[in-house]
Structure 1
C-alpha cells in the first residue's frame, strides 16, 4: 500500500501537496520525483556530511586528549592508534565530499565512513577500553540522525552498527549484565531512532514537495502572466484596460496604440469618456455591463486621437489589476463594413448611372404613398417619362453620349420634380415622377409640359449639342385600395397613347385606353391562333387600266376568318402587326398562299398581270427580309417578276429607314416592283420618290371618294397624278366606286384604277371565274362606259 499525504489549501489559498511514499523505504514511489529530490538535496547533504566528518574528527581528537588521563594504562596505546585512524578516516572522507557529484557517490562515502567508525569502536571494545562503552548508544544515533543520504541507508547503517556494537559489547562484558534486558533496551532504542529518522526524512520530503509544487505553481503563474502579456501585446485587435470606477485608461496594446494614432496621453486623453463620441452610448454600454456582467457586440462610435470618428464593436469583461476591478475591452472597427453595407443597400435601391431611385425602390415608395393616400388628402399622381431619341444618340454618337443624356435627363427631372415628389429611373430610357398627396392631375400636366419645355434646351456634349424629346403618360390613383401595378399600367397606357399620337407630348390616362389595349391583346391572341390554324388567307382585287379597260394586275389583301361566316378585314386586326414576330408569321403565310395561287393560275394559262402584296413596317425591321421573301418564292417555284410589293409612307419615318431602302433595292434587283401605298397622306417626303426604287404611287381612297364634290381632294389627286407623270411613275387610284370617279381620274391622266366599280376583293376560287370572263369586248365596254 502506498502512503499518501495531502496538505489542503489554507484559508488564503495555498498549493495542494500530494506525495506518495514507499512504506518500506520512505522514498517517493515516483522514480523521477525521487531522483529530483535527491538531486535537489545533494548540495545540502554534501555540506552537512562534510561538517559531520569534520566534527567527528574534532570529537575524536577530544577523546584522545581525554584519554591522556589513562596514559599509564596498558590499553592507551591501542586506543590512541584506533582514534588516530578514525580522525584520519574523517578527514579523508571530508576531503572526498568535494569530489562527490551524485547521491550514489555520497551514499558510498557515507557507508565507508560509518563502517570505519563501527569498526574502530569494535576494536576499542575488544581491547577492553572503558571509554568505548558509551559508543554503543552514541554511534547508532549518529548513523541514524546525522544527515545520511537516504532513510534506507540510515536504517541499514544505524541498525547494523547498533547490532554489531551491542554484540561486541556483550561478548566482552558478560559478567553481571542481564543480556536480554540490554538487548531489548538497545532494540527499543533503535526503534525510536528509526521512527525519529523516518519522521525527519518524511518531514524533509514533505517540505521539499511543498516547496517544489509552490515553485512550480509560481512558474506556471509567471509563465501564464508572460503568455497573457505577450498575447495582450501581440493580438492584432485593439485591446485596452480601464478602471471601472474612474474610467481611466490603464493600458493599450500595440494594436490599440497604432489604431488610436498614438498613446492616448499624447492627445490629452486619459479616460474612456473622452473617446466616446456620444455620452449616451457610454451609458448604454454600462447598462449592458450591469445586466449581463459582460458586454458583447456593443456598437458605438469613438473618436480617435486625431479626431476621426469610427464605428466599432466593443466586447468587454471584468478583470483585476493590482486588486482593483477593471475592464479589458476589445475594439473591432466596423466602419468599412458599414460603409460597404451602405453601398450595397444604395446599389440595391438606386440606379448606378444617374443616382436616382431604381425600380425596386420606386415600387416601395409607390406602395407606401398609395397606403397613405385617402379621399380627403388626395390621391397620388404618376408621370411616366420616356425619351424619344435615346437609341438614335447611342447609335450615332455612342453609348457614352447616351449615358450623358440620361444623366442630364435625371438631373433636370430631379430639379423640376424632386422637391415635390419622387423621381426614379425604371430602366433604359424610362423615368417616373411620383407626386405625393394633394397633387392634382392639372398640376401633373403642368409639370409634364414644363419637363417637355426644359428638354428642348440642348445639352453640350464635347463639341456637339444634344437635344431630346419625351413622351409622358400621366395616371392618378383613384382610391387608396388601388393596386400599384394597375396604376403603373394606367400610366403606361397613357404613355403608349402619347407615342401613338406622334410623341413629344403629355397624355392623361382615360379608362377607354384600357379597353382599347384589352381589345388589342385579345386581337393579338386570336390572330396568333389564326396563324396556327391557317385561317388567314388572301383575297384578290383587280387593277384595271383606265385607257384600255384591260386587267393589269391584282392586289392581295389579307383576310381573317374569325369564325364560320365571319371574315375580318385588316382594319380589325392591323394593330397586332406591331409585333414583328407576328407580322413575319402572317406575312410568310400570306406570301406562300399567294405564290401557290399564282403558280396554279400560270399553269392554267391565265394572264393576271402582276400580284401586289403589302409589307408591314414591323417586317421591314428584319435586314434579311429580301433574302427571306425570295427564298419563299423559290421554294414555291414562282418567278419574283410576277410580284409587286407595296409599302406605306410610314416605313420611311422610323429608325430603320436606311434598312428599308436596302431591302427594297434587293427586291427590285430580283425583278419585283415597288409601289408606295396611301400616297398623299402627308408623311413621306418627295426625296423618297427620288432615292428609293419606287415605280408606282397609289392615291389613297380617302382623297378619291369626294373628288367630284370636294375641290381640296380634287386638287390633291390632280397634283399626285401630275407628279407621277412628271417623275415617270405609274399612278394607281384606290377606292374607285363610280363611273364618275373613273371619268375624272382618266381625264386628269391617271392610268390605273382599283375599286368596287370593277370588282370587290374576292377569294382565289372566285377570281378564276373573273379571269375567265376577261375578254377584249369586256375591256372595250369599260372604255366605252367612260366615254358616254
Structure 2
C-alpha cells in the first residue's frame, strides 16, 4: 500500500519499470501478466462499462428532447432515429454486460456499443446538428479516458470515432482555414489522448503490480510465519523464547515442555535466569548475545522441573515477537556426553581395578604439586609401597584373590593416608602416596610404620584369611628444581633397598643408593664388554656318585676374567642377571663355550656324564628360549642328551609356571634333563615337582654345611632325600666339604654329591686331565673312604 501511495503522490516508482511494460501502450509486456491484470480488473471494468452505458442512454435521451426544436420534419425524423439508435445500443450493451463475466466479452460488447454511438454521432453531425463540433471533440475524449478496454481497441475506437465525426462535419466544408484547424485539432487531440492513455495504463498497472507484490509478500510472510510456527512447534530440540531485558519466558515448544518436565511456570520458573544454576552463566550468555547478535555452543547448567541440574549447550539469536525484542534459545542436552567423557577421562587417568590414579595421572599431579611447593614452604615426600605377598596369593588362591588383595590394599592405603595426600597405583603390586607441604620426612616415616602395622592385620578374602606384607621406600624432594621423575627414581631405589634388607620394612632414600645404582650400571657395561671379549667362561665342578664313587656329571659355573687377569665368581656380579638382555648374552656365551668343551671331550672318548648349566630367570623372557638353546647345542654338534638344565626356584617368581613349563617341556622332549637347584629355600611350591618335567633336585649348601650340628638342617636334608626317593627323583647334595657330611648323606640314601671335599671348580683343561686319570681304582678309593 505504501508503494501504491507513493505512486499516486508522484513519488518514486516501484521496482517494476519499463522493463516489464510496453513503452508505447503502457500495458504489461508479458501476455500472461497482462491477462492476470485484466482478470483482476474485470469486475471494475464491468462496473464502469455498465455505468457508461446508462450514462450514454441517459445523455442521449436528454438530447432527444432538444431535437424537437428541429423544424424540418425529415431532419427531425433522421435525428430522432439516430438518437434512438444510440439509446438502444447503450441499453442493449447494459443488458448484455449484466451477463458478461470476462474482460474479453466485455471488450467486445463495448467496442460494438462504441461503434454504434460513433455512427449515431456522425449521422447527427451530417444533418447540421449544432452540437456536432462538440461531439467531434468530446466523444473521442470519452473513448480514450473513460472506456475501460485494451489499448488497441480504445485507440481504434477513438480514431474511428474521430474519422467519422470529422468526416461528417466536413461534408459541408467551412472555410479552408477552419477545416485545416479542425483536422489539426482532431489529430493533436488523438495524439495527446493516446499519450494520456498510455500513461494511464502505465500507472494503473504499476499500481496493480505494487499491490500484487505487496500481496505476494504478505502471502509469503504469512506462509513463512506459518512454517516457522509449525517448525517451532515440531522441532525435536527444546526451544525457548524470552524477552531480552526482563528474561520473561514468552514461548516454548513441545520439546521444551517435555524437557523441563512441564511448562516452566508450573514449577515457578517464569524468567530465563531462574533456570540457570549459576547467574554468571546467564550474564555471560547475554553479554555475548548483545555483542555478536548470536551465540553458539555456550555450555551452561540448567535446572529442570524435577530439580535435577543438566549440562546443556545453548544457541541463541536476537529476534522480535509482537514488536518486542526477544531471544530465541535452542537447548541441546549434553549431560550424558559429559558423563561419558568424564568416564573416559577417569579410565585414562585411573586404575580400572582399584579406582586409584594411574601412573600417568600421578606423574602429572606430582609435577604440578612440585611446582606449587617450590613457591611455598615445605617439601614433597613420596612413599612407594610394594606388596611382598601378591605372588604367593596368585599362586595359591588364583588371580581373582590377587585382584581382591589389590583392591583391599588400595582401600586401606586410602584410609590410612586420609587427608595427608593422594594414593596412586603405579602398576602391578606397586602403590605410591604423595605427601606435600612437609617440613621433614617424619610424617612419612610415621605413616609408613602405620601402614606396616596395619598390613600385619589379616586380610579377609571370602572365607579365607591371610596376612600380607609390604616393603616401603621413602624419598623427599631435596630441592625445588628436582624433577618428578628423579623423585620417583629415588623412592624406587629406597624400595629396592627395603627389599634387599629383608622386606616388610620402610627405608628412607639416601644418596648412597644412587651410587650403588651407578655401580650396577658400570658393572653391566663391563660385563657386556666381557661377553664380547669371551671373558665370560665356564669352570666345572664334578658330581660324584655316593654309591659307586664314580664321576657322574659336571656342573658348569660362570666365571669372569677381568682385565688384570683376576677371575671373579658370579656371586660378585649377581645383580647383572636382573638385566634381561645381559643375562641372555652371558647365558648364550656360556653355553657356546660349554658345548665347545664338550665337543672336545667327546672327540677324545672321555666319559663325563651330563654337563649341567644354569638358566637365569631373566632368560625365560626369550620368546623362543628352548629352540634357541637347542640351536646352540646342535651348532656345536653335541646332542642334547649330554646336557642338563638347572633352574632355581626363583624362576617361578614374577611369572606363572604355565609360562615356564612349555620351555622346559620342549627341552625335555629333545633329551635335556632338568634339575631344581637350591631346593628347599622356600620360593617354590611342591606342585612344581608334579607339574614340570623335573628329573632331580639339588639340596642347597646352606642345609648341608650344618647338618652335623643342626638337627633342623639334618631333618630337612633327610626329608628332601626321602621326598626324592618317593617321587623317583635323583638327589644331589651341594657344598659337601667333609668326609662326615659325605658319610651322613650316603647313609641316608643320597645318591650324588658335589663340593670341595671331592673337587673344587676347575677350568676345562683340568677337567680333561681329571677325566683322563679317572679309573676304576680311583672310584674304588673314594668309595672305600666312605666305608671306613
TM norm. shorter chain > 0.5: yes
SS at match of 2:242: strand
What is the deviation of 1:650? 5.8
Kept in 2: contact 1:7–1:17 (CA 8 A)? no
Q: 1:352 to 1:634 in 2, by over 3 A?
A: closer
Answer yes or no: is 1:165 the counterpart of 2:160.
no
What is the deviation of 1:171? 1.0
SS at match of 2:590: helix
Answer yes or no: is 1:362 the counterpart of 2:362.
yes
Q: 1:316 to 1:748 in 2, by over 3 A?
A: closer
Kept in 1: contact 2:699–2:717 (CA 8 A)? no
Q: 1:498 to 1:10 in 2, by over 3 A?
A: farther
Tell me what 1:36 maps to.
36
Kept in 2: contact 1:553–1:611 (CA 8 A)? yes
Tell me what 1:412 maps to.
412
SS at match of 1:539: strand
Answer yes or no: is 1:514 the counterpart of 2:496.
no
Kept in 2: contact 1:543–1:551 (CA 8 A)? yes
Residue by residue, what CA displacement relative to the aligned partner does 1:66-119 show, whole Å, maximum 9, x if unpaired? 434548723333333333333332233223324545444433332222222222
Kept in 1: contact 2:381–2:438 (CA 8 A)? no
What is the deviation of 1:771? 4.2
What is the deviation of 1:424? 0.8
SS at match of 1:435: strand
Give me the whole-angstrom Cα distance separating, in 2, the residues matched to 1:423 and 1:115: 113
Answer yes or no: is 1:19 the counterpart of 2:20.
no
Tell me what 1:425 maps to.
425
Unaligned runs of 5+ in 1: none
SS at match of 2:481: coil
Kept in 1: contact 2:475–2:508 (CA 8 A)? yes
Tell me what 1:597 maps to.
597
Give me the whole-angstrom Cα distance separating, in 2, the residues matched to 1:344 and 1:723: 55
Tell me what 1:91 maps to.
91
Residue by residue, what CA displacement relative to the aligned partner does 1:120-178 show, whole Å, maximum 9, x if unpaired? 23334445566766533443333233324134433332233122212222213658994
SS at match of 2:276: coil
Residue by residue, what CA displacement relative to the aligned partner does 1:717-751 show, whole Å, maximum 9, x if unpaired? 79959986998787756474xxxx55886699689
Q: How does 1:434-583 map to 2 (within 5 A)?
A: 434-438=434-438, 440-465=440-465, 468-531=468-531, 533-542=533-542, 554-563=554-563, 565-579=565-579, 582-583=582-583
SS at match of 1:57: helix
What is the deviation of 1:210? 3.7
Residue by residue, what CA displacement relative to the aligned partner does 1:686-729 show, whole Å, maximum 9, x if unpaired? 9999999776856738975x99xxx8479967995998699878
SS at match of 1:25: coil
Residue by residue, what CA displacement relative to the aligned partner does 1:350-386 show, whole Å, maximum 9, x if unpaired? 2233222221221123223333447995432222122
Kept in 2: contact 1:742–1:753 (CA 8 A)? no
SS at match of 1:83: helix
Answer yes or no: is 1:265 the counterpart of 2:265.
yes
Q: 1:579 to 1:212 in 2, by over 3 A?
A: closer
Q: 1:631 to 1:62 in 2, by over 3 A?
A: closer
Taking structure 2 as the reference length, the TM-score comes to: 0.81
Kept in 2: contact 1:621–1:660 (CA 8 A)? no
SS at match of 1:573: helix
Q: 1:36 to 1:481 in 2, by over 3 A?
A: same
Residue by residue, what CA displacement relative to the aligned partner does 1:211-233 show, whole Å, maximum 9, x if unpaired? 33433343344344334444444
Give me the whole-angstrom Cα distance separating, in 2, the residues matched to 1:108 and 1:665: 118
What is the deviation of 1:488? 1.3
Q: 1:591 to 1:9 in 2, by over 3 A?
A: farther
Kept in 2: contact 1:497–1:507 (CA 8 A)? yes
Q: 1:326 to 1:73 in 2, by over 3 A?
A: same
Unaligned runs of 5+ in 2: none
Taking structure 1 as the reference length, the TM-score comes to: 0.81
SS at match of 2:434: strand
Q: 1:291 to 1:545 in 2, by over 3 A?
A: closer
- The answer to which of 504-513 and 290-299 deviates more is 290-299
Give me the whole-angstrom Cα distance separating, in 2, the residues matched to 1:210 and 1:495: 93
Give me the whole-angstrom Cα distance separating, in 2, the residues matched to 1:723 and 1:776: 30
SS at match of 2:153: helix
SS at match of 1:107: helix
- The answer to which of 392-401 and 662-671 deviates more is 662-671
